Chain A
């Protein structure tokens, strides 16, 4: 009796191990991958991440985070989403975000457990970056070469007027004064 139970248990364990071996093997061989794509219709912009194992088996119940890539880090796009039986997690893109000069932004999907499992896609969903800059405008605070025109014109006009007058007096003093006295006999 005792032996029978022991044998039965062993057989069950063995068969369990044997049966589950392919799964274990599968799990060890196939790292989960994430594939990010976008769906865009008239009303919505949707980010769709598909988590698969060995590119064939969808993984259900894994948490996925969606981000927008920024210079100083990743800006979360939505709350964490969980994959369904197809291995899909969806996030609706609702943000008004600036992109590059043509409006491209980089979307990123990452596994919540393992940040190294990620995918990115570049989409033109951003706002075109403003190309206007006050950097080269003529402003009071701008550099010497970008001084406001009215300031340059008025200041030069005043300087020219006053120094012109004084130049005339200097001319009289240096070039006329002595000459005017040369022939004079008191």
Chain B
């Protein structure tokens, strides 16, 4: 042991001295040296193989950026068209009489815009859940998922803002929130916490992306000038130096810790927008956790769908494996059970008491006009995702994705059921009003805008995945045992 230490410590001159002193030792030394050389060779060989493996991985993960096929272009075009339709619908809404273009009236003054806003805020918690939480509790399988989760989070929180602007009577006065903002108003809390969450989520997306952008910068030399310029600018001079890695790791740790309370806060404050009013159907101390747990179960479901679609579209089966579906399936069961628990608290306790204040609303949900929607939402949004994926066969990609897909749709309707029937049963009876004031159903303009925001969400994810690696290369490599300090070097000119 000591010898080895000296050898490695003092270098060759000392070894040579040793040889001249003792013959036997010399022989032994020679053998040792040969062995070392062999080991070295082996090591270089392994490194080479590893490097090749890594290059292959890079190749595969950069593939969606390298070439956009016809189907990909058609898909982007399709999404752009829907987004433009949404913009046109918004133009109509703002230029024509809102009494005619949208179905909102004095009693149901919040409609699909607000329920979609709540849906997007819920969806944005996927970042706090999938990337930050899993990272912190060191669930290794988070590695290929974190970036997908983060881009969904950033896109959906942005679209939550779009929904709010669409819902506003005077969107041109949006900046009043900053110059006249009252700290007493839950809306101001929401604005503050959402802006904070956007920034944190954006950083959580961007900082681990830096090495990826550098790879794009170094490898994707056949791209148009603007794209190359973008990679150069956005890579922030990334060279993969130990100090840079230190900054990335440190920032990620801080952000992962920060984004969890922030994520919980945005949805809790969003719940407070409702719970802070005196309306009986929203007057619940359970609303914050009820919303957060719903957001988490939606997050798991949305993740399953996103993983399935991305792995199909970009042929990423090697990275987004069946094992991931297994894990996500179990997660969906757990989170849906949590959501079920909060739903029971939210609906069963008041309906046991059945006070006059709650009766109107609850009976309408359980057996009235909205009952079919309500029970379908309970079935597809909570019951099925909580029970079916308990069977291993249901945790295979396709069945799980179908279950999750329905859960995502049900999650949107769930928000609809929280917002709209809640408004249709005020304390004082609705009397002497036109028919349209009593029953709300979204107008074409409203639905076009809502659908356009969905298209925009998909468009943002698609475009992002066509410009940047949708799976974090270095995070996956690190998980596979690669030394990221060594492998993630900028590619030398001759290698290209």
Query: Chain A: residues with CB nearer than 8 A to chain B?
Result: 140-144, 147-148, 151-152, 155, 159, 162-163, 165-166, 168-170, 172-173, 176-178, 180-184, 186
Enumerate B369-417 residues with CB–CB distance to A below 8 Å. Answer: none
Q: CB-CB < 8 A to B489: which residues of A? A: 186
Question: Which residues of A lie under 8 Å from residue B279 when comparing CB positions?
Answer: none
Chain B residues within an 8 Å CB radius of A183: 241
Q: Smallest Cβ distance from A135 to chain B, in angstroms?
A: 16
Tally of A-B residue pairs with Cβ under 8 A?
A: 82
Encoded as 1 (CB less than 8 Å from any A CB) or 0, chain B from 242 to 270 comes to 11101100110011001000100000000
Q: Is the CB of B244 within 8 A of A147?
A: no
Separation of A176 and B203 alpha carbons in the complex (Å): 15
B262–A162 touching, CB < 8 Å: yes
At the interface, yes or no: B192 with Cβ under 8 Å from chain A?
Answer: yes
CB of B184 within 8 A of CB of A186, answer no
In the complex, what residues of B have CB within 8 A of residue A170's CB? 203
- Which of B45-53, B62-70, B232-240, B323-331 contacts the other chain? B232-240
| Residues B183 and A181 in contact, CB atoms below 8 Å apart | no
Indicate whether A177 sits within 8 Å of B210 (C-beta atoms), given known contacts A166-B196, A182-B237. yes
Question: Is A144 a contact of B183 with CB atoms below 8 Å?
Answer: yes
**Complex: how many Å from CA A173 to CA B251?**
9
Question: Which of B203, B239, B254, B255 makes the CB contact (< 8 A) with A186?
Answer: B239
Residues of chain A with a CB closer than 8 A to B241's CB: 180-181, 183-184
Establish whether residues A172 and B184, one from each chain, have CB atoms under 8 Å apart when the complex forms: no
* A178 / chain B contacts, CB cutoff of 8 Å: 236-237
Say what secondary structure dominates the interface of chain A. helix
26 CB < 8 A contacts A-B:
A141-B184, A142-B184, A144-B183, A147-B183, A147-B184, A155-B189, A162-B262, A166-B196, A166-B199, A166-B203, A169-B203, A172-B251, A173-B203, A173-B206, A173-B236, A173-B247, A176-B243, A177-B210, A177-B237, A177-B247, A180-B243, A182-B237, A184-B240, A184-B241, A184-B243, A186-B490
B244 near A177 (CB under 8 angstroms)?
yes
Bound Cα distance from A155 to B196, whole angstroms = 13
Complex contacts, B238 vs chain A, CB 8 Å: 177, 181
**B171 contacts chain A at the CB level, 8 A cutoff:** no
Which of A152, A163, A169 is the one whose CB lies under 8 Å from B255? Answer: A169
Q: Which of B191-210 contact A (CB under 8 A)?
A: 192, 196, 199-200, 203, 206-207, 210
State how many angstroms separate the Cβ of B101 from the closest Cβ of chain A.
33
Instruction: Tell me the complex Cα distance, A115–B203, Å.
Output: 80
Would you call A144 and B250 a contact (CB within 8 A)?
no
Q: Is B55 an interface residue (CB 8 A)?
A: no
List B contacts of A186 (CB < 8 A): 239-240, 489-490
- CB-CB < 8 A to A180: which residues of B? 241, 243-244, 246-247
Cross-chain contact B181 with A144 (CB below 8 angstroms) = yes
Query: Which residue of A142, A162, A165, A181 has the most chain B CB atoms within 10 A of its CB atom?
Result: A181
